[in-house]
Every structure is written in structure tokens, then in C-alpha cells.
Amino acid sequence: MKLFLFGIGGTGARVLRSLTMLLAAGAKAPADLTIIPILLDMDMQNGDTERALREVELYRAIRRVAYKDTAASQGAQTERRTFFATPLQPLGTLQAENAQEKIGDSVLPKLTDHEGTFEEFLSVSNMDDIDRELLKLLYDNSAKPTSAELKLNLSVGFKGNPNIGSVVFNALEDSAVYKYFTGAFNDQTDRIFLISSIFGGTGSAGFPQLVKLLQHPSQKIQIRNAKKGAVTVMPYFALEENSQSAIDQNRFLSKTKAALSYYQTQVNLDALYYIGDRPGSKLYPNVEGGAKQTNNAHVVEMLAAASILDFANKPEGEFGDAKRYFEYGLKRNDRTLDLPHFYDQTYNGLLEPLIRFAYATKFFTDFVPGNLGEAFAKNLSLSQNLRTNTFYTSLDNFMTHHFKNWLGEMAQNDRAFYPFDMQNDFNAMVRSKRIETGFFDKGISEKFLRDQAGKIENSLQSSFPEPEKRFMQLLIEVAEKCREKLGPLNRQLSDAAV
Amino acid sequence: MFVTLYELWLGQNNDPIYADEIFTPVGLITLLFSLALAALFYLILGRWKAIFYRTSHWIIALVIAGIFGYAYALWYALDATDAEETDSYMQGFGGVNLLYALIYFFVFSLLLKRFSIFAKRTPF
């Protein structure tokens, strides 16, 4: 099954970032799932988008080498696929019928060739006087940075103005990327999912337009009949005061209310997920777009990404004729969340894999470099390859600079999600349970890891002759052993609220 | 075979007891001891846990093999010849047996290390 995932605007990119992390950790997803992420954004330089793209690229580079071509078991042992298991494939790499224009293999295909102001996009200079005057009634014609509408440079997105974005997205149907999508969408089991925010510019403009387009009678039947879902991210952060910025956070709630009432009647999807949060005390920089817009990861984005997997995991028969709405609830409304704050579905589907991946990350980044003289490392030629081989450098980059940062950003945000202390030793890494040690049992010690790595690597040699594939299996199994050592977690919340 | 190996270095002793009763059992026991030591290092400790498997540990095992080779040769020769104390031939025999113990352990290391887990790359 292919899931065509449209991420619209900066929120789309941030949720895709979280999804990439969850998939890297092996979050529960159908075995045959391939995700086709398509970011739709005019702001091609956006920092959030650029970071998400880099992470998807790293994910793909790792996955390409980590597993055998076919999922079937070869040799004595069956290949385990947990970390980086689900393929992420850019739209441009799919076969597309009748696609006249190639769109490249980026997850962020160009939405339009237009570079310039909204006024130029509308070709105002070619309009007759009456149309021009009408436009001036509808849009602010000043060039002031805080209120520019017609003079707004579209290369940084719509700066929180869905009234501009909706006009631009109206032309989506004629874009090369949409034509390619329609050509590539051929299977009845394929699904479509949309990510957008409801309080910004690009997402709130693009989402209803895209839904309308996907349901239009002129669309091919496979697209019209496909199961469609969406997550709408409502306000969850507050911005710093910036009188020079066109983004006015005081309008977030009013824009949300207006959009929700529109969605109620105009948006017909099989599953619609809503998520939001009361903004915390950590203020985000008020940046209109561009490379400087790199917001810290937030647990709301992770849970929005979880909705994508929830949608993908739903069996075909679960979708009825009626629209289904989903919201998210925690066990308790604390400002710092830990593993016990989540109910079983999230815990089993997302958090258990995250625990394992956190152990794998710590093993790879903290343990392996100091143990290159061990037999398992020598058998894998790690001392030669760790800093030169693309697979290992990509894995190191992903884990050290992206996964750990992602966890760190969520831990420092408000509301915080702080389940792991990656700076601490293995026994204290999972904050909700410290592994008890004694005279005979040192928990997850260096010796324990050396034992496990040595034995596991030795057992994998015949089935996985290629070192990179063997190393991925080693990571999966070492993480599993660490998880076993951790033992059952107490998932009852303690009385003291944080 | 052992008689040849020892007389290659030591020459023949006037007392035929060395060729008849000492060289072969000492050579055989030294060989078996080195094999047992290598098996203990690579197949038992080297597969059990990551405790005794590094090159430094291997050198300790090598030294043990050498000490055994020297001490066992002297003890056996003293016992077999009923001598009160060692002579230069006996000392030389101990030294040569030490050398063979080292060689046996090294060769068995090369043969057995592939079957180890933690000491697969020990000593190289």
C-alpha cells in the first residue's frame, strides 16, 4: 500500500520530521506500507522544511543499504525490519502515466515556477481597471512588511495569510507536481493523507483547496475513491513579539475558529484528526519564513505524525460512509510528559519502538566508538568504515545530529516530552525507570554490551555477509537486549504532577 | 617425533633415558597442555563472556604455556633421572620445551581463534 502524504507548509515539514523519527524507530506500521511524502510549500528555503528534507534523505540513504532487496528471509536467519523499516519514496521516483514533465526526486517539488510578488502572480498589470480596483478592495496594496499582501514576495510563503495562499493553491491542479501525482496514483489500495496547520498561511490555505481538488468529479476514479485522511494542527505554540513581522499570533484562534466552521461543512474525508495544545511558556521566534524558521520539535508534532500511522494502520473495513473525527488525549495534563502519560495505543505503537531506538542510538554513538578493538567491530571493519563509509556516516549524522536533537528539543519545549536522558548512562537513560544494579548485575554495562554485541554479531555472520546489513541487525538485537534488561515499566503516573 | 624435535636443539644425551622415557611424554603433555590452554582461551572463555579475550589476556595465557613447558620439563626430567638437582642439559631441555610450548600455543591460537566469539581477532 502506498500512502501519498501531502505536508503543507512549515507544519507539514515539522510533522514529516517527527514521522521520519518515528519510522526510524520502527513505529507500528503496515508491513507493505510505502510512504510518498510530498511537501507543498512556496517557501523553498524554509529552515524547518530544509531540515525535514535532510532527514528524509538520510533515512533513505540508511535504509537503502541496511536491508536486503527482498523482505524474504535468506540464509539461516530471518531479516528483522524494525529501524528504518518503512520505505520513504519521493513522488518523482514513482512511475507516472501521462506525466509530461519530470519533477525530480525531491520530497519538496516546485509548486510553481513563479518567483516574485503576489501581484505578479495574479498578473495585475495585465488586468483591466475594474478588476485591479476590485483586487485593491480585497487585498492590502501597501509594501509595508507587516501588511503587504499584493506586494508580498511569495518566495517565503504566505506569511500567515490564507487569503493569499488559497489563490495560489487554486492553481495547484495545473502544477507539474499534481499532474505527476495523478499519473502515479493507480492502485485501489493506495491512500492519501494531508498534514496542515489551521492557524498559519500555507497550510490553512492549501488544505481545503487540496481536499476540494482531490474530491472533484474531474479527478480519476482511483483518487476520488481512495481513502483519505488528514491531520489538522491547531495552535500549540506562541510567538515572540515582533512588530516587523506580518504574522500576528493574536489572530491564530480566530483563524482557527473560522477555518473549523468551514471544514465542518466543506471538508469530507474518511478520517480527520485534530490536534492542538495550550501554548506553553517557551516562545518561538516570530520569523516569517526562510532559512531562519527552524522551530524546535514539539510533542504535538510527534502525535500529529502518529495520526498518519494510525490512519495507515486502519483496516479497509474500518472506514464507513460517515466521516470520522479523532482527537488526542493524555492521561494527565502535565507540562512535562513522560512515558506513563500515554495510553496503551501510543505506548505500544510509538513509545516502545522509541525506547529501543534510543538504546540503539546510545549504543552506536556512545559505545561503538570506544570499542573498535572488539572482535565484533573488527569483523565489521568499523575502525576503517565508521568515518568514511556513507552508511555509517549517515547513521551517525541521523542519530547524533537529528534524532538526539529532536528528542532534546521536545524535552526542552513547553509542553515538554522528556522520556530519555541521553547524556546519562545506559542504566539511567529511560527516565521513568532506572535499571537497578548490584554486585553481580551491573545492568547495561560496557561488559554487558560487549557480551551482547560479540555474541549477536557472531550469530549473524553466515546469514548477513554484508557488514552494513549485519550491523543493522546487530543494532536491532542489541536494542532488544537492552529493552529486556530494562524490564517492565511501571506505567502508573506518580501523584506529583510536573 | 618428539625425540627428533628436542635433539635438534640439544643433541643426544649420554643417558638414553631422555630419548627413551622423557622426550616423548614431556613433548606430548606439553602439546596437549597448549591445546587445552588454547581451547580454554578461545572456545570456553572466548565464547562465554567478554572477560578474558584481549591481546593482553592472550599474552598471559602464552606466558602460562611457557612457564608450564619449562617447569614440567624440569620436574619430569628430575623425577625420571632421580637427580638431586638440575644440570645444564636439563636446563636446556626446559628452555627448549618452553619454546615449543610457546610455538604450540601460537599455532593452536591460529587454528582455534575462528571458533571464538570475543577472541576471534586475538592476538590479531
| A76 pLDDT above the threshold of 60 | no
DSSP state of B120: T
Q: How confident is the model at residue B112 (pLDDT cuts 50, 70, 90)?
A: very high
Q: What angle do CA A280, A285, A291 make, to 5 degrees?
A: 135
Is A256 within 8 Å of A10 (Cβ atoms)?
no
Q: Which residues of B touch A379 (CB under 8 A)?
A: 120-121
Q: Which residues of B touch A454 (CB under 8 A)?
A: 50, 117-118
Percentage of chain A exceeding pLDDT 90: 53
Contacts of A430-435 with CB under 8 Å at 24 or more apart are: A430/A339, A430/A355, A430/A358, A430/A486, A430/A489, A431/A338, A431/A339, A432/A338, A432/A339, A432/A340, A432/A489, A432/A490, A433/A486, A433/A487, A433/A489, A433/A490, A435/A485, A435/A486, A435/A487
- Which of A74-78, A236-240, B51-55 has the largest mean confidence? B51-55
Amino acid A347 reads: Y
Lowest mean pLDDT among A225-229, A235-239, B19-23, B65-69: A235-239
Q: Which residues of B touch A375 (CB under 8 A)?
A: 53, 116-122
Residue-level length of chain A: 498
Q: Which residues of A touch B117 (CB under 8 A)?
A: 375, 454-455, 458
Mean pLDDT across A446-463: 93
pLDDT tens-place string over residues A314-328: 998 888 777 889 999
| A498 pLDDT above the threshold of 70 | no
pLDDT on residue A282:
72
DSSP state of A280: -
Q: Is the peptide bond before A415 cis (omega within 30 degrees of 0)?
A: yes
Q: Do the Cβ atoms of A375 and B118 come within 8 Å?
A: yes
Mean pLDDT across A418-429: 96
Whether A378 contacts chain B with CB within 8 A: yes
Distance CA A85, CA A64 (A): 10
pLDDT on residue A417:
96
Q: Do the Cβ atoms of B120 and A458 come within 8 Å?
A: yes
| A497 pLDDT above the threshold of 90 | no
Residue in A378, A450, A455 closest to B121 by CB: A378
| A408 pLDDT above the threshold of 70 | yes
Burial class (CB in 10 A: 0-12, 13-18, 19+), A76: exposed
How far the first Cα of chain A sits from its last, in Å, is 41
CA distance B58 to chain A (A): 14
Query: What is A335-349 written as a DSSP string?
Result: SEE-GGGS-HHHIII
- Give the Cβ contact number of residue B87 at 10 Å: 13
Distance CA A166, CA A206 (A): 6
| A208 pLDDT above the threshold of 90 | no
Query: What is A361-407 written as a DSSP string?
Result: HHIIIIIGGGGTTSHHHHHTTHHHHTTTSHHHHHHHIIIIIIIHHHH
Q: Which residues of A touch B49 (CB under 8 A)?
A: 447, 451
DSSP state of A484: H
Which of the pair, B10 or A73, is modelled with greater confidence? B10
Residue where the block lists cell 519514496: A89
pLDDT tens-place string over residues A91-149: 988 887 766 677 778 888 777 767 778 888 888 888 888 888 888 888 877 766 666 67
Mean pLDDT across A51-70: 92
Residue in A378, A379, A454 closest to B50 by CB: A454
pLDDT on residue A74:
47
pLDDT tens-place string over residues A305-354: 999 999 999 998 888 777 889 999 999 999 999 999 999 999 999 999 99
Distance CA A249, CA A116 (A): 25
Which of the pair, A242 or A345, is modelled with greater confidence? A345
Q: Which residues of B touch A372 (CB under 8 A)?
A: none
Q: Which residues of B touch A458 (CB under 8 A)?
A: 117, 120
> Roughly what angle, to the nearest 10 degrees, separates helices B2-10 and B23-39?
110
Lowest mean pLDDT among A155-159, A192-196, A285-289: A285-289
Q: Which residues of B touch A378 (CB under 8 A)?
A: 120-121
| A61 pLDDT above the threshold of 80 | yes
Which helix (H) or strand (E) segment is A179 a member of? helix A176-184
Q: Which residues of A touch B45 (CB under 8 A)?
A: none
Burial class (CB in 10 A: 0-12, 13-18, 19+), A63: buried
Whether A440 contacts chain B with CB within 8 A: no
Q: Do the Cβ atoms of A375 and B53 come within 8 Å?
A: yes
Percentage of chain A exceeding pLDDT 70: 89
The backbone torsions φ and ψ at residue A272, rounded to the nearest 5 degrees and listed phi first, read -125, 120
CA distance A91 to chain B (A): 45
Q: Which residues of A touch B116 (CB under 8 A)?
A: 375
- Residues 6+ away with beta carbon under 8 Å from B124: B55
The domains found in chain A, sorted by start residue, are 2-110+169-328 (3.40.50), 344-486 (no CATH)
pLDDT on residue A120:
80
Task: Report the chain A residue with the minimal C-alpha distance to residue B121.
Answer: A375
Lowest mean pLDDT among A62-76, A253-267, B23-37: A62-76
**E strands present in A87-167:** none
CA distance B77 to chain A (A): 41
Please state the ipTM of this predicted complex. Answer: 0.71
Q: How confident is the model at residue A303 (pLDDT cuts 50, 70, 90)?
A: very high
Which of the pair, A468 or A164, is modelled with greater confidence? A468
| A409 pLDDT above the threshold of 70 | yes
Whether A370 contacts chain B with CB within 8 A: no
Residue where the block lists cell 520530521: A17
φ/ψ bin of A290: left (φ > 0), alpha (ψ from -120 to 50), beta (otherwise): left
pLDDT tens-place string over residues B35-81: 999 999 999 999 988 888 889 999 999 999 999 999 999 999 988 88
pLDDT on residue A367:
96
Interface of A with B in 443-462 (CB under 8 A): 447, 450-451, 454-455, 458
pLDDT on residue A248:
62
CA torsion sign, B17 to B23 to B25 to B29?
positive
- Residues 6+ away with beta carbon under 8 Å from A290: A43, A45, A46, A47, A156
Lowest mean pLDDT among A205-209, A229-233, A345-349: A205-209
pLDDT on residue A448:
94
CA B58 from centre of chain: 14
How far the first Cα of chain B sits from its last, in Å, is 30
Dig out the grid coordinates for A73 from the structure.
Answer: 528471509
CA torsion sign, A146 to A152 to A153 to A156?
positive
| A73 pLDDT above the threshold of 50 | no
Residue in B51, B53, B117 closest to A458 by CB: B117
Whether A71 contacts chain B with CB within 8 A: no
| A287 pLDDT above the threshold of 70 | no
CA distance B114 to chain A (A): 10
Distance CA A489, CA B29 (A): 55
| B29 pLDDT above the threshold of 70 | yes
Task: Report the chain A residue with the minimal C-alpha distance to residue B120.
Answer: A375
Which of the pair, A288 or A32, is modelled with greater confidence? A32
| A244 pLDDT above the threshold of 70 | no
Dig out the grid coordinates for A437 from the structure.
Answer: 544494579
Mean pLDDT across A178-183: 89
Mean pLDDT across A275-282: 81
Q: Do the Cβ atoms of A375 and B117 come within 8 Å?
A: yes
Q: Do the Cβ atoms of A451 and B119 come within 8 Å?
A: no
pLDDT on residue A79:
86
State chain A's mean pLDDT as an integer. 87
State chain B's mean pLDDT as an integer. 90
Lowest mean pLDDT among A170-179, A489-498, B68-77: A489-498
CA distance A363 to chain B (A): 17
Give the residue from A458, A459, A460, A478 with the most B CB atoms within 10 Å of its CB, the best one to mutate.
Answer: A458
pLDDT on residue A99:
66
